[in-house]
Structure 1
């Protein structure tokens, strides 16, 4: 299959890079021509526009910053969708919207897959990220060879829309954990604890998490640049709150998390890095949470491994 890739931002460039690194015939497109030329220099072809990619490629992948952007790109591609074409949406988007757009593709004889990623930009760079895929089973099996080049663990979540629901849930959980870690570390600093010791205590305990083992390091080094901005956090946790509202779930923590992140956005800017949220507590307490020896950027030092489908143990789940 020759593959078109639209959206070469922080995440998209890394996913597209994994395809290119593994020998996929790739056509790249982005509104920023410099990003496209960077891929051309690495062996990709430049795509003229979204419609041309859908016309000329077997599969077109989109990885875009908002549901509005995804809609605009798909509307451009839709007239070129014919029998056998596949659209893969790797953006984090609203499940109702991806179902609407997917239905439009399927109505023209194509196939639609939503496949958001989870696990951090550093793992997207090495092909070790996790991928959720929502679509019918035959389509999933058709595009699985591409998914396992971009991610290590691939989970078929069910029909289209299910992957988006699960993705915003995971981002909600990561944001909640970032806020509790911020409170924990500032409190330990105020109590006179050593910050490097605090980091290790959390890491080896029941309180550890993926967020701690990645973002806490960037907080402690002072870099506070996890490559994910507050506006994107608010988009994702807002989508999670909307799912709860639609299903009449009276969440209590979620509205407070949204309030705190909005306050951080007002203080530090719309595109501020999300891990700067700890600075709200640092400022009010006068305690700076820093420690020597922590990295200023996250690098996935695990070797790139062949991806695989995560098989659900339904007997254990019953």
Structure 2
């Protein structure tokens, strides 16, 4: 088995998620050639021990494995068209962006057509998980390629699941986040109802966290201050997972529901609710949707 220092990784996209992920790879002794067009991201990458290069093709030219963490499918496809010709034959491309399944499959096809290999490996766990190396990776692609990627994915994540063929990792991600968005809305509505009925937040938590209504949204990302001290609600909803990103993921899920003939009325409604809230709360944690529900409830009562 090769040592980390014998593997060169090209890493494109050094934002709130990609930056810490790349830093963890460098800390594990992988050789990381990093690129991001944002000067502040470049500066942080240098402080984290990454080798920052001037262009995306330069980041991939000598890489054995290329990881991308980019904002959307359009950009992923544009970047792939720019970099694939610069890569060595047989390079393994791993896209950890959260994008539409069709875009993910198209990116993989582009890579394969030019003599490379590809995995989709979106993540769950937010900025905190990226920094701590505790992300969950949902991976789509060939078994042999997954086996090659597994050691470095385990540096960045605590749980790595091979979900199936190309695009199936993205499918797992949008299904998970659709459920999470629905859960947070339902939890927030229940808490606001409890407030109206005189139920204190700590008592709500004590009951529901050990009863049939228990959820990750409550026990890890509780949308009110107090019961879970590490939740964003205790820090003025500074995001671990921003509303803008949840809105993006719910829209991907809503598109997939329609495209595949699934009667997902709650999933579509969740997308609608977050689209509305995103107009005012895009930079807050997605759990801040409770503030919008509370505000709307006061208007209804007035």
Match of 1:283 in 2: 295
**Bigger relative contact order, structure 1 or 2 (CA pairs below 8 A, ≥6 apart):** 1
Residue 201 of structure 1: aligned partner = 207
Instruction: Tell me if 1:233 matches 2:246.
Output: yes
Determine whether 1:59 maps to 2:65: yes
Per-residue deviation at 1:43? 2.0
Whether 2:157 is the aligned partner of 1:151: answer yes
- Partner of 2:118, secondary structure, is strand
1:137 correspondence with 2:143: yes
Written as runs of structure 1 = structure 2, the 5 A alignment for 1:1-318 is 1-216=7-222, 217=228, 218=231, 220-221=233-234, 223-266=236-279, 268-286=280-298
1:252-294 deviations in Å (ceiling 9; x for gaps) = 212211221122123x15444322211122213449xxxxxxx
* Structure 1 residue runs without a partner (length 5+): 288-318
1:225–1:275 Cα contact (<8 Å) kept: no
4+ aligned runs moved over 6 Å, structure 1:
none
What are the ranges of 5 or more consecutive residues in structure 2 without an aligned counterpart?
Answer: 1-6, 223-227
Q: Give deviations 1:54-108, integer Å, cap 9, x for gaps.
A: 1121111110111122122212102213322111100001111111111111111
Q: Secondary structure at the match of 2:94?
A: strand
The separation in 2 between residues aligned to 1:219 and 1:80, in whole angstroms, is 42
User: Is the CA contact 1:10–1:227 (under 8 Å) kept in the aligned structure 2?
Assistant: no
The CA distance in 2 between the partners of 1:40 and 1:271, in whole Å, is 26
RMSD: 1.8
Q: Secondary structure at the match of 1:23?
A: coil
Q: Distance in 1 between matches of 2:261 and 2:149?
A: 35
What TM-score does the superposition give when structure 2 sets the normalisation length? Answer: 0.89
3-state SS of 2:11 partner: strand
